[in-house]
Structure 1
Amino acid sequence: MTLTQLQIFSLVAELQGFTAAAARLRISQSAVSHAIRQLERELDVELLQRRQGRVELSDIGRQLLPRMRGMLGLAETVRQEAADARGMRQGTLRIGSFGPTSSMRLLPAILAHYRAQYPGIEIHIDEGPDRLVLQWLQDRRIDVGFVVLPEPRFDTCVLLEDQMVAVLPAHHALAERPAVTLAELCGDPFVLTEAGSAELVSHLFQAARLRPNIRYRCAQLLSTLEIVASGEAVTLVAEMALPKVPYPAGYVSRPLSPPVKRRVGLAVLSESEATPAARAFLQLAARLQREGRLGV
């Protein structure tokens, strides 16, 4: 069993295909198939099941995948610790990001300083809903991820705090109010965005024993704002997720009453086991936060 075989298996599982994995690795599809066959032969189990052009994990493959990714992560840590002794001239950092707050307000500022200090580190960025970033961390698909805090499962650091705001059509009756309650948002169709605060929004309504009239679910914030601006629904999002200049026109935001705060930070599965590249990213982000250079 080699690290190359584990890497190929992990990528095939992630991309759900031999062709896609071969393209990503820039090797032939036959080489990918050969590596998987050799790994399955050595372990004497079927790791992947081929079904109508798709590749799915078998039960044992699903069980072993996190362990294999852990082995790959440990190997990367060894390589990076050796590189760290040489000034971290090379290595890989895999980052998970969600929504406009992390992808547009936090990540660019951190990356600008990080690349200046560690130009040899290759950076991979995956973007998805906040709950998916948490799953990527758990599965060791990424080294560090932006998350909505608190998250007791991981080692974390806080980067910014903002507030949740109601977003309403510009001519909505509640738009004249200085603040809006959760109960008042239950009187209209509601659009739930998965662009960074879906879990928090759902928890807020559940804790208040309220049920919003969810008519729409959107993966992207701009789609959510389009629906609100058209007068079709109301929503609840984090203030810093909103564009600095309202786009599209036709919506307004109002704070909640009572106010609800949201904290965003970085998380790693375990800081003591994180790669040097991930620890450096975490430490740099924390320093920039202390200096007030994030989230503006």
Structure 2
Amino acid sequence: MRCLVTGAAGFIGSHLCERLIADGHTVRGVDCFTDYYPRPVKERNLANLRGHAQFTLHEFDLADGVPTAAVDGVEWLFHIAAMPGLNKSWTHFDEYNRCNLVATHRLLESVKESKTLKKLIYASTSSVYGKYASGDETLPTKPSSPYGITKLSGEQLCRVYGDEFGVPTVVLRFFSVYGPRQRPEMGIHQFINAVLTGRPIKLTGDGLHVRGNTFVHDCVDAVVKSTAAMTGETFNLGGGELVTVLDTIRKIERLSGRAATIERHPPRKGDQFATGADVGKLFKHVGWKPTTSMDDGLAQQIEWQKTLL
């Protein structure tokens, strides 16, 4: 297949590009290298892709419009690009609106007349459910942050372009993805880095928030398999183990052989109290379920982060 991956230089996007190439597909990557985190981090993500005969990188901002050459002839389109995170969305709403909603609109506009597009996979988030995101896709959507609002609005754009123009879209709601290349501001990355360097973990809240963490390779496998799902469907995509934030820190201590120092901070506005994906619908439609244990996934991320020190 001729594939297009937006956010190709990011955490999930770079892994997805590598998987698609390994499966024999041709991949066009798109990234605008926002300053959410340093460009050298994203360039490191691309190390295995740059120069590969089956991969080309297009650097532009989707919100400015999508060049015809980028989408011409594309059969599978994976829209992974987004401005992530809860905290910054309270103070930089215009940026989140531009990156998550305007960019999605421009992308949909660019393919609404496509004769080759077979599937558009839109990467959404458990944040569309709000503070309590445990269950299946029938949970009410009640975002508790501007970030979640922009991502839910992106889902609705996909629905409208499916209904009115026949854009063949599938929505995947990601739950707490972790693993090698995880973004530096994400919790597990920060916990591991603090433990490995002997610095205190800055823990917001009581640490009893429950997370259903998803290993990145499991996530990518689900994304690829979802190309076989029925158009217009929405699926939860999450790991099978539910652990508290404190439990995750204890696992990191055990796997790294080092003790953590915890520094307590007030809870963040809009943070989720519980996330746990019921992925029964995704399994029923495409036969996917997570296979990586939390211990195995954390061990791989710890070893990767050691190489960054």
- TM-score range with shorter-chain normalisation? under 0.3
| Greater relative contact order (Cα < 8 A, sep 6+) | 1
Indicate the structure with greater helix content.
Answer: 1
* TM-score when normalising by structure 2: 0.25
TM-score, normalised on structure 1? 0.26
Bigger radius of gyration among the two: 1
